[in-house]
Amino acid sequence: MKIRIRDNSIRLRLNKTDMDIFAEKGYLENKTEFGIADFVYGIQTLESIENLAATYIGNKITVFVPSAIKAEWVSTDIVGFNYKMSIGNDKTLSILIEKDWACIDNTSGEDQSDNFKNPHTVC
């Protein structure tokens, strides 16, 4: 699972293995180790919500996914879902969850064998 954070937006991208784990367990977590502390990010299914939501507590970002969205996402070709969560003071946090597509022109050399096939053939 990859995370991208920019200003007031969070995007999680899950490859095929990540999606399989999330489909089965309803939860997936990764971490980046900094020596004295870890930065943890995860995705979790919740029955009690209607829209995507997120929290940041104790060096951990958790994106919560309603059960209905999870069921549709893991069983169809739908690439992802997004939602703008109100955070007060007329501000929002943009949350996006996506299946991770392979790059068309993989110039980074990153192993993309577990990514979803990109339906586009050119950039």
Inform me whether the pLDDT recorded for 92 exceeds 90.
Answer: yes
The residue extents of the domains of the chain are: 2-99
CATH top class, domain 2-99 = alpha beta
Per residue in 14-30, pLDDT (tens digit) is 999 999 999 999 999 99
Query: What is the pTM for the complete model shown?
Result: 0.84
> Does residue 77 or residue 96 have the better pLDDT?
96
The total number of residues written for the chain in this structure: 123
Could you tell me the pLDDT band of residue 123, with boundaries at 50, 70 and 90?
A: very low
- The residue that leads in pLDDT, 97 or 112, is 97
DSSP designation for 44? E
Are the beta carbons of 95 and 10 closer than 8 angstroms?
yes
12: confidence class by pLDDT, cuts 50, 70, 90: very high
Helix axes 67-75, 16-25, angle to 10 degrees: 140
DSSP string across 77-106: S--EEEEEEEEETTEEEEEEEEE-BPPSS-
